[in-house]
A and B are shown apart, each in its own frame.
Chain A
């Protein structure tokens, strides 16, 4: 049977089009119940005997409506919910409303255990309905759901009278209509309550139940039509909100204002108007008189005051929590203050509407103070949740197990943010584990950085070679490959490396030149474009390395075995073969797929030893020596071209074998052989980049490193100028030279320090699609090359996988490929994803190091030499090279950190001992100075100081189970009255570092009064807020 669908559509250009579609109705859509004889089905999804709920006498299938998926997706995903019939009407509506949720529904449908069946009711002759006159689309869809439910009910009754269907909807009117039709209908809440599962109950989102009856706080958002009109006319500005990492009440968007790219600041709760970091928002500019000259914390303060007043009246839970805002904003004021003063006022705006939400699941902890029932009570209460990311506002949710959640890391998601609620309203999802526990915290940081770390799905694993571990290179693999098994290939990697993706060889040629080959694991042989494994790898983007574990991009069978170029096994590889002359200049280059058999897999150290040990005269060793010779020449030429040698304080932990607890920290050491491998990898990447750009001028995946803007260097230049050193950053060559010349003989670490700080002035290197930039923008600043890509690590980076495919297409005319390699927009999008994943992976790695540093310093107090690397308005940052850690040392008297902010807001607070001098960018003591006299004490950039490192136990959210622990640094030397602390260990004692546990005990015994004060920060704040009010 045929129906026509007709509707009128407006195109992008504004034309009105009439669209006519055919719509076929069928008789052969089956019900998918296992025992159904009436339907001619192949693979039944629904079991014959579905689950029972106390509410209904019969076992039943559930038919949810659209809003159930939209609002309660977390509940639906739980394993308790099975045998669900997803109507096509519902699925299409979900798709229309939210693509992420649609994806989650699709995932559930493809999960066989969930037993979700899609019933194409819109194409079924008996369940299709025409829209009635005066019926809204929503009403029509609700009716379609009821009709389908009815059909199912009758169909199943004929089949087995002991089974029924239940329609699940939260719409009261719809339920009433359904019951009038003789259908069974139920709300989610009643259904779940009857299941008697606290976990599930907590996971339900409930918008109404949490309303605390307060007055409206926020302005209403404008309608989408209004917004798009406003954006078009230039009245509003659209952008992605990024909240300041220091202050969750300050956000900004980057957009074009009057044709110039600029940042619009959005400050304060009202102006932010319920937007959360990452939302796409529409902003209206405030009048110029309200623009900010400096991004100080003053406005925030006012806001906080007001809030405080309000809170006196507000309910107890909310009040206690709002107070907590204080330390967060105050502690950060110091860091925002030091930003250079702006000559022109910064445009400020307020959010008038939200175009797209970016809500996801957040990990954090429950605020102890918001839990005010007696332990053991299971009455549902509202609690406040702090996300680990400071950018996310507190989230209010309702739970019955508040006491069980204390001291745990939990995941919560946001459901809504009504105008009457100060905080967004969410629901509980699950508990990760105890706060402070190593594995829990690791999981937290993975979640926080959006790193996908779930196990590989069965579908992905099913794509691995059937032979598994026993896979070997077979004769058919040699088709289209060169046989390099006889070459003396070897790999050099860090110790303990199992995913070896590169190997090298060199052969002297009769003409005096050298044939050098870089062989890269041929991952694309196993990971075919577009399949599930490929999609999974693309979404993971990169392997994430944490201190104690690795989150693989590819299943480990591939990563550490089949692709890994281990020694003495035959492996498939993608080779880049050069002919280099004695001066390491490229005579020619070619690329080919190949089969190799590595002769040795060495560590950097082993390789170094082989080079140094003259008794070793085997072919592999000789090869390494030749490679080393060539690498040195390559490196020299590269440095002459202006490549930068930068540095970062990287550390390596030695972990205890069983507990994986860190027992020692050491700086990562670089050997000559590191540079050897690196040189050839760079060479391969550059050669490949040229080749794929030639073949895919519009869609090659390349990597660029933009030239850093001059402002990035301003501070550093000023600081080193005082030491008589100049930095010329006009080109990478001049920068590199000035870095080489910046040596202070008596301070050997200075040069390294300067390089570390120069690194921080750099821009991020980025993947991009060649069609999206001009050729001049391709340049890689740090490596001083005009074109660059990533080719050499396909096991751990998806970009390399893509480059492998493009290179293969470039060298082999028989390769077939489609849009995945040629489509510029797709490639652009992929680059965006990879850049994001990369950044997140880096940050996760850093956070992991931080976590282990904290574990390492637990119960320890160390004294160490450090350098001042940044001056803030009321503090300075010290880098301790030995551990590669940084910490803030506060300059405003020795007060507890949690209340230090009061120093600026109330007169009663201790006055700062050191003040910021913008002219010299230093902190100076405040005593009156005569002309030309240097201040008694001052802190300057690069100054060498002694600090005492310990773990700050002052945790937000009420002690244990709150925010992550912070590293605390206290100044020992130079001695500044009021700031410095007395060392516990005698600093002349060469074995000072040994006394650790006892030192901690001593610190406790010392009875440092700051510790005492910190124990009850709430009391301290209460006092101060009263004071400032008066």
Chain B
């Protein structure tokens, strides 16, 4: 990278992969979205607000958020099945839940439950960010009240250079990678997650890069939603 200024797949350090997204891909669900970050592909479905499954979980003044996260066995080059109680999966689900809880206006739906199902179809790095972004789209598609978009982006140090939106090869070479989820309007961060060691002095740079990335992602997501809305409006006008 030092010689050409390009990353392994031809991107520059601050560039995202190509994002494609559509909403309302499933008719059964109340809201759904399909999102690609390059070769990472994820499907999100939102059900609810609906009656809570278990009485015991009901909260009288707001809705509860339930996230289920799953990885398809065929999503990696090597086929691997994960059990439903895989701790990694549960952890990811709780990260996602955590990043949406402050944004969804749950008080509007008392005594109910909102389910978010996430399915990874193909993996190429940045699973968490893809899930959060897809979930945002699906929640909006389901018409659930939120204060803002939640946009997530990863950033990390690859070969002594700060880059965003790491792909699988970049992730796998012992990199310090941070994923942040933020609200693009207020610039508030709802999630910052990192699993490796990183010098404090270097964190600042990564965070600012990642938040730049979040803003770019926000524009893409926003465009998808607006296009969809326009499409619907046209159909209704006819």
Contacts and interface: CB of A to CB of B under 8 A. Distances in A.
A123 interface: yes
Contact of B10 (A4, A15, A23, A819): A23
Interface string B153-176: 000000010000001010000100
A2 interface: yes
Interface string A85-97: 0001001000000
A21 B169 contact: yes
Contacts of B197: 816, 818
A2 B78 contact: no
B77 A120 contact: no
A690 B18 CA distance: 53
A24 B4 CA distance: 14
Nearest to B38: A22
B200 interface: yes
Q: Which of B2, B9, B200, B201 has the most CB of A within 10 A?
A: B9
A196 B159 CA distance: 42
A120 B3 CA distance: 10
Contacts of B9: 21-24
Interface residues of B, number: 23
Interface in A98-123: 106, 109-110, 118, 120, 122-123
A4 B11 CA distance: 14
A19 B77 contact: yes
Contacts of A17: 77-78
Interface in B173-203: 174, 197, 199-201
Nearest to A17: B77
A819 B174 contact: yes
B62 interface: no
A23 to B, nearest CB: 6
Nearest to A119: B4
A26 B3 CA distance: 17
A675 interface: no
B107 interface: no
A644 B39 CA distance: 65
B6 interface: yes
A454 interface: no
Contacts of A2: 18
Nearest to A823: B174
Contact of B77 (A18, A88, A109): A18
Contacts of A819: 174
Q: Which of B2, B3, B124, B167 has the most CB of A within 10 A?
A: B3
Interface string B1-38: 01110101111000001100000000000000000001
A22 B3 contact: no
Contacts of A15: 78
A463 B160 CA distance: 17
Contacts of A25: 10
Contact of A22 (B4, B6, B17, B201): B17
A132 interface: no
A123 B3 CA distance: 14
Interface string A1-24: 010100000000001011111111
Nearest to B199: A816
Contact of B6 (A109, A123, A816, A818): A123
Contacts of A816: 197, 199-201
A120 B174 contact: no
A120 B39 contact: no
A20 B39 contact: yes
Contacts of A818: 197, 199
Interface string A330-354: 0000000000000000000000000
A21 B8 CA distance: 10
B183 to A, nearest CB: 29
Interface in A18-37: 18-26, 29
Nearest to A4: B39
A91 B167 contact: no
Nearest to A21: B9
Contacts of A20: 39, 77, 124
A10 to B, nearest CB: 12
B3 A91 contact: yes
B136 to A, nearest CB: 23
A91 B1 CA distance: 12
B230 to A, nearest CB: 26
Contact of B11 (A24, A110, A118): A24
Contacts of A91: 3
Contacts of B199: 816, 818
A102 to B, nearest CB: 11
A482 to B, nearest CB: 24
A20 B169 CA distance: 11
Nearest to A120: B4
Nearest to A30: B5
Interface string B68-85: 000000000110000000
Contacts of B18: 2, 22, 24
Nearest to B5: A120
Interface string B190-232: 0000000101110000000000000000000000000000000
A25 B167 CA distance: 16
A109 B2 CA distance: 10
B29 to A, nearest CB: 28
Nearest to B202: A816
A40 to B, nearest CB: 13
B129 to A, nearest CB: 16
B132 to A, nearest CB: 21
A88 B167 contact: no
B158 to A, nearest CB: 14
Given A109-B3, A818-B197, A22 B167 contact: yes
B10 A24 contact: yes
A816 B169 CA distance: 26
A549 B170 CA distance: 46
Contacts of B38: 22
Interface in A787-832: 816, 818-819
Interface string A816-851: 101100000000000000000000000000000000
B237 to A, nearest CB: 35
A6 to B, nearest CB: 11
Interface string B82-106: 0000000000000000000000000
Nearest to A816: B199
A818 B167 CA distance: 22
A118 to B, nearest CB: 5
Contacts of B78: 15, 17
Interface string B123-142: 01000000000000000000
Nearest to B122: A20
Nearest to A106: B3
Nearest to A822: B197
Contacts of A106: 3
B94 to A, nearest CB: 28
A26 B39 contact: no
A25 B9 CA distance: 9
A23 B124 CA distance: 13
B10 A120 contact: yes
B174 A118 contact: no
A120 B78 CA distance: 31
Nearest to B196: A818
Closest 10 pairs (CB-CB, A-B): A24-B10, A123-B10, A17-B77, A816-B199, A118-B3, A120-B4, A22-B9, A22-B38, A118-B4, A120-B6
10 contacts: A17-B78, A20-B39, A21-B39, A22-B17, A29-B6, A106-B3, A118-B3, A120-B10, A530-B160, A818-B199
Interface of B: 2-4, 6, 8-11, 17-18, 38-39, 77-78, 124, 160, 167, 169, 174, 197, 199-201
Given A110-B3, A819-B174, 16 more contacts: A4-B39, A17-B77, A19-B77, A21-B8, A21-B167, A22-B9, A22-B39, A22-B167, A24-B9, A24-B10, A25-B10, A29-B6, A120-B4, A530-B160, A818-B197, A818-B199
